[in-house]
Amino acid sequence: MSGFLAVLVVVLIFIVIFQIAKASEYVSILKGEKKARQQSNRINGFLLIAFLVLGLIGVYYCNDLLKGKILGESASVQGEGVDTLIYVTLAITGVVFVITQIALFAFAFKYQEKEGQKAFYFPHNNKLEVIWTVIPAIALTVLVAFGLKHWFQLTSDAPADAAVVEVTGKQFNWLIRYPGKDGQLGRKATNLIDPAASNEIGVDWNDPLSKDDFQATEVHLVVGKPVKFVIGSRDVIHDVGLPHFRLKMDAVPGIPTTLWFTPKFTTKQMKEKTGNPDFTYEISCDQMCGSGHYSMRGVIVVETQEEYDAWVAKQPTQYSLAHPDAAPAAPAADAKADSTKTVAANIK
Amino acid sequence: MSNEATLHSQQEVMHGAGAHDHHDHEHHDSFISKYVFSMDHKMIAKQFLITGIIWAIIGAFFSVLFRLQLGYPDATFPWLESILGHWAKGGRITPEAYYALVTMHGTILVFFVLTAGLSGTFSNLLIPLQVGARDMASPFMNCLSYWFFFLASMVMMASLFVQTGPASGGWTMYPPLSALGDASIGSKIGVDLWLTSMALFVVSQLLGGLNYISTILNMRTKGMSMTKMPLTIWSFFFTAVLGVLSFPVLLSGFILLLMDRHAGTSFYLSDIFIAGKALANEGGSAILYQHLFWFLGHPEVYIIILPAMGMVSEVLAISSRKPIFGYLAMIGSLFAICILAFLVWAHHMFVTGLNPFLGAFFVLLTLLIAVPSAIKVFNWITTIWKGNIRFTPASLFSIGFVSTFISGGLTGIWLGNSSIDIHLHDTYFVIAHFHIVMGVSAFFGMFAGIYHWFPKMYGRFMNNTLGYIHFWVTLIGAYLIFWPMHYEGMAGMPRRYFDYSTWASFNQFEGLNQFISFVVILVFATQLLFVFNFFYSIFKGRKMTTQNPWKATSLEWTTPIHAGHGNWPGEIPEVHRWAYDYSKDGRDFIPQTEPLGPNESAH
C-alpha cells in the first residue's frame, strides 16, 4: 500500500512539473520568443554563477567532511612515495581545476546574450595555442618523471634479506604460506591440490624444501623489515590489495607475481595513531572474482621481532598436518636464526 | 564515386532530388520500408536513438537497484522480490544478482547506449546532412548495421531471463572467471549469450563505421573540402576509424574465450583448480585476454567521448555566436587523441604484473593524451569568451560537458601515473573518474545533441523548461554522486563489493553511501522526465516554423523542415566557406552556402 502511495506521489509530482513546463511554454509564446529567451538567459546565467560559487564551497566542505575518513599516513616506506606523488599531482590538477572551472562558468555568466552586445570574431591565435600546448606538456613531463622514479622503486627487486610470504588467492579466501626456517618455499603444482589431505596449495611433499613450510590464517610481518609477497591464484584472477601500504598486485593463475614493501608501524601503533581500537591491516581482493568477491578478506598483523618469533614458534608445519601419522606436530622453525638471512623464494 | 554521380545513380531508388516533384504524390513508402527496414539515414538515426534510450532506462534502473543495496545494505524491499524473484529473496538482492546487475549496467551503458545510441544516432543523422549527401554510401549496410544492433540487443535481453542469470563477471569479462561455468553462476550460459550478443554488436559497428568513413571521404558536396567540415563530422570520422580498427581485435579475443569455454583450448587458462578438481589446461595466459580486450577497451572510451566532443564544439559555437576557437587545433587534437588511443591500453593493466619497463612507456603515452585534451578544453573556454551566449538546454549541457570533462579528465592524470594507480586501481576513485569523464560527459554531449537536433529530427521542439530542470538536476546530481567517491577511492575502497560492513577499513562510509544512493534515485527520476519530454515532444512539441531555428551555418539547416529521403529537393547546395562564420564582418552568421565576398578572406 505504501509502495503504491509512493508511486502515486511521484507520478503527481511529475504531472505538476509537466503542467508548469507546459504553461511556461505558452507564456513564452505569448511574450514573444525574444523576450522569453532574455528571461531564461538571465535565470540560467545566474544559476551558472551560483553553481560555480556553491560548487567550489561544496568541494571545500566535502574535503573537510571526508578527509578524516581516508587512510591517513602510509603504513609502508614505499607508500610514502605514492603519497608524495598524490600530493604533487593534487596540487597541479587542483590549480588547473579551479582556474578552468572559474573561467568556464564566469565567462558563460559574463558573456550571456545582452541587447546590443556583439560577439567577438576570434577564430584562432597561434600564440595562445602554443602557450596552452607547451605548459601542460611541461607539467606532465614533471609528473611523468616523478611518477616513473617511484614506479621503478616500487617495482624494483626486493632486497636480498626480505622475508618471503606466499599469498595464494582462491574463491573466496587467501591461502598464506611461509617458507619456514630454510627461507625457501617448497615446490607446488596444481594437480597436487587436495583439500581433503590438508594440501590446499598443492605442495609437493617430495620436495625437501617443503617440509618446514607452514601455513597461517593471518599474515604476520615484522615492523621495519622488508617483506616480499609471492602471489598466485589457484582458480580465477584475484588481486592482493593493501590499501594501508598503498600497494596492489594481481593474483593470476599460472603466472606468479611479486611485490615487496617495508611496514612502518605495528598494528598496535596504528591503533594508537588512528585512535581506533578496531584498526586492522586488511588484504582486500581488488579484482572481481565471483559472488564472494566482497568477502575475500585477509588480515595482516604487523608486530615486533619478539612477538613475531613467538608467533612463528607456535605454527605447526603443513607437512606435519598433512601427515598426521608420520611425525608429531613439530614447531616450524627456530625463526630467530633464519630471519636475518632469508633468501629469495624458490617460486617454482 | 563522386557525389553527383551518386546522386544521379540513386535518384531512381530514392525519391529525392530533382525527381521529387513528380514522385511526391504517387510514391508512398509502406510502413515496413519507412519505419522498420528503412534505408533513410535519418530514420535509422531515430531507430538507434530510441533503442538507445530504452537501453539507457534499463541500464540506469539496474544502477538504482544495486545502489539500493550499497546505500541500504540492511534494509529489505519486498517489491524487489516481486520483480527479481529468487534473485532478491526476502527483498534483499543476492550477491549473484548484484554482480549480474553491475555487469549488465556496464555492458549496456558502454556499448548499447554510449556507443550505438550516441555515435549510431548522430553519425547517421548528421554525416549526410552536414557533408551534403543524399544518404550514406551504402544505405543498405546502414540498415543492416541497425538490425545487427537490434539482434545483439535481443540476445542480450534474452540473457537477462535465463535460469542461471546473465553474465556477471564485470563488463570486462575477464577469464578465467568468465571462462569457467564452475567459477560463477553467471559464467554458465549467460556468458555465451553475452559473447554472441557482443559479436553481433561488433558486426553492427563495423557495418556502420565503414559506411561513415566512406561517406565522409567520398560523398561530400561540391566545395566541401575536409577543412570546411563541421567538427562534428571530424569527430564522427575519427570515432569510426577507431571502431573499425579496434573492434575486430575485441572480437578475436571473444572467439578465443568462446573456444576456451567449449572447445577445450587453453588460450587463457592455466594451472586451475576449481570445483574440487584440477583442470587439464596448461600454458594459457589470462593476461592475454586483457591485452586483447583493452586494445579495444581503451579506444572505446574515445569512441564514446569523441562524438560528444564534436557536438559540443558545434553547439558552443552556435550558442556563443562565435567561431569555434582554433578549428585546426581542434582537428589536430582529435587526430592526436585518435593515434594515442591505440597506444595506451596497458594502463588498465599496471597491477597485473606487467613488465615495469613496458609500463613506463604506457605511463608516458597516457599522460601525453592530457595535452590534446587540454588544448580542447582551453579552446572551448576561449570559444565562449567574448561571445553572446544563448542558454538553450543544448548549450547548457555543452557547458556542463566541458565542466565534467575537466573534472574527470584531471583525475585521469592521477590514474595514468602507474605509481598512483597502484594504490587507486579498482577502487571507487576509478569509478568516479570514468563515470564523470565518459559517463556523465558523454551523456551531456548526447543530451546537447538531442536538444539541439531534435527539431531537425522531428520538426518540433522539446519543452525548454523541462530541459532546464533536466540539466540542473543532472549536473548537480552528477557531482553529488561522483565527487565524494574520490574520497572512498583514496581510502582504498574496492569497487564491485556487495557489502562493506565486515571491513574495518571501508565501513566508515555508510552514511555517504546512503546519501549517494538517494541522489541516484533523484537523478534517475529526472532522466525519466527527459524521456517523457522526448516522446511527448515528438507528437505534441512546439512546431518548428523556420528552417533554421538556431541560426546556424551548417548544411543540415538548409534542408526542408520535414526533409524526405534524399534530404534536399533539387540540387544539393554548394559549399563556399567553413561552418563557423559567426559574427564575422558584423553579420550574425553566414551560411556555408554563401560565396565569399570579393574582399572577404576565408577563415
Q: Is B271 on the interface with A (CB under 8 A)?
A: yes
ipTM score above 0.90: yes
pLDDT in tens, B341-391: 999 999 999 999 999 999 999 999 999 999 999 999 999 999 999 999 999
The per-residue pLDDT for B24 is 45
Mean pLDDT of B497-522: 94
Q: Is B599 on the interface with A (CB under 8 A)?
A: no
What is the 8-class DSSP label of residue B387?
A: -
pLDDT in tens, B185-222: 999 999 999 999 999 999 999 999 999 999 999 999 99
> For every residue of B112-174, which 3-state class applies, written as one string?
HHHHHHHHHHHHHHHHHHHHCCCCCCCHHHHHHHHHHHHHHHHHHHHHCCCCCCCCCCCCCCC
CB atoms under 10 Å from CB of A7, counted, come to 11
Q: Is B407 exposed, middle or buried (0-12, 13-18, 19+ CB in 10 A)?
A: buried
The per-residue pLDDT for A328 is 54
Indicate if the pLDDT at residue B501 is higher than 80: yes
> What whole-number distance in Å separates Cα of residue B115 and Cα of residue B121?
9
Joined grid coordinates for residue A53: 560559487
Indicate if the pLDDT at residue B153 is higher than 70: yes
Cβ within 8 Å of A, B 75-94: 78-79, 94
Question: Terminal CA-to-CA distance of chain A, rounded, Å?
Answer: 64
> What whole-number distance in Å separates Cα of residue A207 and Cα of residue A234?
20
pTM for this model (two decimals): 0.93
Joined grid coordinates for residue B135: 544518404
pLDDT in tens, B94-144: 999 999 999 999 999 999 999 999 999 999 999 999 999 999 999 999 999
CA distance B340 to chain A (A): 15
Cβ within 8 Å of A, B 285-324: 285-287, 320-324
Indicate if the pLDDT at residue B273 is higher than 90: yes
Cβ within 8 Å of A, B 5-44: none
The per-residue pLDDT for B17 is 41
Q: Give me the residues paired with residue A163 across strands.
A: A227
The per-residue pLDDT for A327 is 55
**Mean of pLDDT over chain B:** 92
Q: What are phi and psi of A30, to 5 degrees?
A: -65, -40
The per-residue pLDDT for A341 is 40
Mean pLDDT of B224-239: 96
B388 within 8 A of A118, measured Cβ to Cβ: yes
The per-residue pLDDT for A10 is 87
Please name which of B202, B204, B185 lies closest in space to residue B103, comparing C-alpha atoms: B185
Q: Which of B369, B378, B422, B433 to mutate to test the interface with A (most CBs of A within 10 A)?
A: B422
Please give the residue of chain B at the shortest CA–CA distance from A73.
Answer: B491
- Which among B284, B391, B472 is the nearest to A254, CB-wise? B284
Q: Is B496 on the interface with A (CB under 8 A)?
A: yes
Joined grid coordinates for residue A256: 606468479
The per-residue pLDDT for A7 is 85
Q: Which of A294, A295, A297, A347 to mutate to test the interface with B (most CBs of B within 10 A)?
A: A294
Q: What are phi and psi of B593, to 5 degrees?
A: -80, -10
> What whole-number distance in Å separates Cα of residue B227 and Cα of residue A58?
43
Q: Is B511 on the interface with A (CB under 8 A)?
A: no
A330 within 8 A of A317, measured Cβ to Cβ: yes
Q: Taking CB atoms and an 8 Å cut-off, how many pairs form between chains A and B?
A: 379
The per-residue pLDDT for B16 is 41
Reading phi first (left if > 0) and then psi (alpha if -120 to 50, else beta), residue B317 is in alpha
Scan for cell 591485452, then name that residue.
Answer: B291
Indicate if the pLDDT at residue B3 is higher than 50: no
B104 within 8 A of B160, measured Cβ to Cβ: yes
User: Could you list the mean pLDDT of each consecutive 10-residue stretch along chain A, which spans 348 residues?
Assistant: 81 90 87 86 95 97 92 91 94 96 96 90 92 93 94 93 95 94 92 91 93 94 96 95 95 95 95 91 95 95 96 93 71 44 40
Residues of A with Cβ-Cβ distance to B483 under 8 angstroms: 58-59, 62
The per-residue pLDDT for B329 is 95
Scan for cell 598433512, then name that residue.
Answer: A322
> What whole-number distance in Å separates Cα of residue A288 and Cα of residue B426?
9
The per-residue pLDDT for A326 is 67
> What whole-number distance in Å separates Cα of residue B114 and Cα of residue B96?
26
Joined grid coordinates for residue B86: 529468487
pLDDT in tens, B321-331: 999 999 999 99
Residues of B with Cβ-Cβ distance to A105 under 8 angstroms: 399, 403
> What whole-number distance in Å separates Cα of residue A226 and Cα of residue A343?
12
pLDDT in tens, B7-51: 444 444 444 444 444 444 445 678 888 888 999 999 999 999 999
> What whole-number distance in Å separates Cα of residue A290 and Cα of residue A191?
22
